[in-house]
């Protein structure tokens, strides 16, 4: 009879007592054997193993449980290892990117420094062609004066270099 407990295992309480031989072979015994056979058949149809199979089934279930727990722990360990490796790879990639960026910035700084030197040399050449010398007065203003007789390019280059290092060529000097 279908009801709200359908498909659920129920409890069966059995009280055992010694029964005289006459009762066992009589109507009460027949009825008991019939009920026990019906219970056994229902249990067999429901998939309940026979009592002789219970120890082996319990061992199988215990083994399956342990195997499941071991696989779960292994999956967690693999996941942790994968996360650690991903973190290590990210760290290595960031380190390489940082090294690349540092080399790039150093190359840009070297290039800028070479451009400054090139600009100084161009200025020296232009001043020599114009036969003039560039200097500053006490107020920071530029003074262009004619080149003195016998001035060599090396002396002029030293003069321009000292002007550049003292920010003498800065159009807006800091006072």
Residue 29 confidence (pLDDT): 81
138 in any annotated domain: no
4 in any annotated domain: no
146 in any annotated domain: no
Domain tally for the chain? 2
Using an 8 Å Cβ cutoff, are 164 and 136 in contact? no
127 in any annotated domain: no
Look at residues 113, 147, 114, 143 and name the one whose alpha carbon lies nearest to residue 130: 147
| Domain coverage including residue 32 | 20-49
143 φ, ψ to 5°? Answer: -125, 125
Alpha-carbon distances of 23 from 30, 49, 117, rounded to whole Å = 9, 30, 124
Task: Verify that 100 and 74 share a domain, yes or no.
Answer: yes
Residue 159 confidence (pLDDT): 59
Alpha-carbon distances of 144 from 33, 110, 119, 122, 130, rounded to whole Å = 131, 31, 18, 16, 10
> CA-to-CA distance for 147 and 130, rounded, in angstroms?
9
Using 70 as the pLDDT threshold, list the residues of the chain that sit under it: 1-10, 12, 19, 23, 49-51, 148-175
Task: Verify that 69 and 100 share a domain, yes or no.
Answer: yes
**pTM value > 0.75:** no
- CB atoms near residue 160 (< 10 Å): 20
55 in any annotated domain: yes
45 in any annotated domain: yes
> CA-to-CA distance for 34 and 42, rounded, in angstroms?
12
Residue 169 confidence (pLDDT): 47
140 in any annotated domain: no
Look at residues 145, 115, 110, 114 and name the one whose alpha carbon lies nearest to residue 130: 145
> Which residues have a Cβ under 8 Å from the Cβ of 144 and sit 6 or more positions away?
132, 133, 134
Residue 75 confidence (pLDDT): 95
Residue 71 confidence (pLDDT): 95
87 in any annotated domain: yes
Task: Verify that 42 and 60 share a domain, yes or no.
Answer: no
């Amino acid at each position: 009879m279908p009801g709200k407990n359908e498909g659920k295992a129920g409890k069966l309480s059995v009280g055992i007592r010694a029964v005289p031989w006459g009762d066992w072979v009589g109507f009460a015994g027949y009825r008991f054997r019939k009920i026990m056979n019906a219970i056994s058949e229902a249990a067999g149809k429901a998939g309940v193993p026979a009592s002789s199979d219970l120890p082996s089934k319990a061992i199988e279930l215990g083994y399956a449980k342990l195997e499941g727990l071991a696989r779960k722990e292994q999956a967690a360990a693999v996941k942790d290892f994968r996360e650690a490796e991903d973190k290590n790879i990210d760290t290595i990639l960031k380190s390489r990117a940082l090294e690349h960026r540092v080399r790039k910035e150093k190359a840009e700084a070297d290039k800028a420094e070479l451009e400054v030197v090139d600009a100084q040399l161009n200025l020296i050449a232009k001043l020599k062609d114009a036969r003039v010398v560039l200097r500053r007065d006490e107020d920071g203003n530029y003074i262009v004066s004619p080149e003195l007789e016998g001035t060599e390019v090396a002396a002029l280059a030293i003069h321009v270099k000292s002007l550049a290092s003292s920010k003498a060529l800065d159009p807006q000097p800091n006072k």
